[in-house]
Amino acid sequence: MRSVADILAELEEVITEKVKAELFATLQGKPKPKPRSEAFHVAQRAIKKVVAKAPVKPPERAAKPPVKPPERTGRRRRGNDIERLAESVLAYIKGHPNCKISDIAAAHGLTSTDVSFPLKKLKEKKAVVTHGEKFATRYQVVHP
């Protein structure tokens, strides 16, 4: 692949030769070329040749950082782990009424999937009520 500096050097060389030829012709008394002289057209052709020789490279896109999936321990959670998390979730909901599952998960450093089962257990015990549906579901303690 040719560098931009090489392309510019070649272009400069072609243009310089044509300008010198016009200058010598003028000094020898030959008629001046028209504003769009032969040198202009030669320079245009040279530019087209140089550009045509240069390989076309698509613009580089900014690399996106790879998305890291949440780490899985590969083990099932025990009942007491879920109960402790449910107590912690309940305490968070008491302090933050009408919160979403994403808020609860972020506060505990977990994913919403990890928090969904303890929330389900709290709803079964009727310790928590929900308002809304799907992504708009908000949680509130029944008896604060």
**39-74: pLDDT as tens digits:** 677 777 777 776 666 666 666 777 666 655 556 666
- Let me know: does 50 contact 7? Beta carbons within 8 Å: yes
Task: Give 24-34 pLDDT, tens digit per residue.
Answer: 776 676 665 55
d(CA 139, CA 128): 7
| Whether pLDDT at 19 is above 60 | yes
Question: What is the pTM (predicted TM-score) of this model?
Answer: 0.49
**pLDDT at res. 17:** 80
Q: Which of 82, 78, 80 is nearest to 121 (CA)?
A: 82
| Whether pLDDT at 129 is above 80 | yes
Q: What is the mean pLDDT of residues 84-93?
A: 93
- Residue 24 CA, distance from chain mean position: 57
d(CA 27, CA 6): 32
Tokens found for residue 54: 């240069």
Q: Where are the domains of the chain?
A: 4-53, 81-141
The sign of the torsion formed by the CA atoms of 22, 28, 30, 34 equals positive
d(CA 54, CA 82): 63
**pLDDT at res. 72:** 64
Instruction: State which of 8-12, 87-91, 140-144 shows the largest mean pLDDT.
Output: 87-91
* Fold observed for domain 81-141: Arc Repressor Mutant, subunit A (1.10.10)
d(CA 141, CA 144): 6
**pLDDT at res. 3:** 76
Average pLDDT over all residues of the chain: 80
Q: What is the mean pLDDT of residues 99-103?
A: 94
Rounded to 5 degrees, what angle do the CA atoms 46, 51, 53 make?
A: 95
